Amino acid sequence: MNRGDFQALARLRLREARALRDRELWSGCLYLSGYAVECALKACIARSTRRHDFPDKRRVNESYTHDLQTLLQAAGLRDKLDQEAQADAGLKTAWAAISNKWNVDRRYNWLVAKQEAVDLYKAAKKVNQWLRERW
């Protein structure tokens, strides 16, 4: 996998989440919304990887996770997000929603309320828009 692969996956997973939302398939919409953010964060991590450099083991280990907070840290974007979220309440709310309500185990949750899925999809769109400017 490379940066371009993660960029393509982030865009694709968000389109799939929208399609599932439009078909009222809430569980899949919610799961793929979070997965789109995960892929976008991994694209950001890949961007900061320098060719021929030996990677820091801790950063590599942090990159092989599904935890969005850990991925944000590995991408080196935590401070930037905190700073920009102070000026953009929508970004702050979106990040809080996606990072607190999504995890990879949500794929096993088949009982998802419409509003939860719709809200998480909107949050993922907002966060992915911000991440695309940094990948």
- pLDDT per residue over 59-91, tens digit each? 888 889 999 999 999 999 999 999 999 999 999
Q: Give which of 125, 134, 117 is closest to 28, Cα–Cα.
A: 117
Whole-number pLDDT of residue 80: 97
> Per-10-residue mean pLDDT for the chain, 135 residues long?
96 98 97 98 92 80 92 96 97 97 89 96 98 97
CATH level 3 topology of 3-132 = Four Helix Bundle (Hemerythrin (Met), subunit A) (1.20.120)
Residue 100 confidence (pLDDT): 94
Beta carbons of 29 and 66 less than 8 angstroms apart: no
CA atoms within 13 A on the CB side of 128: 26
Collect all residues with Cβ–Cβ distance below 8 Å to 97 and sequence separation of at least 6: 119, 120, 123
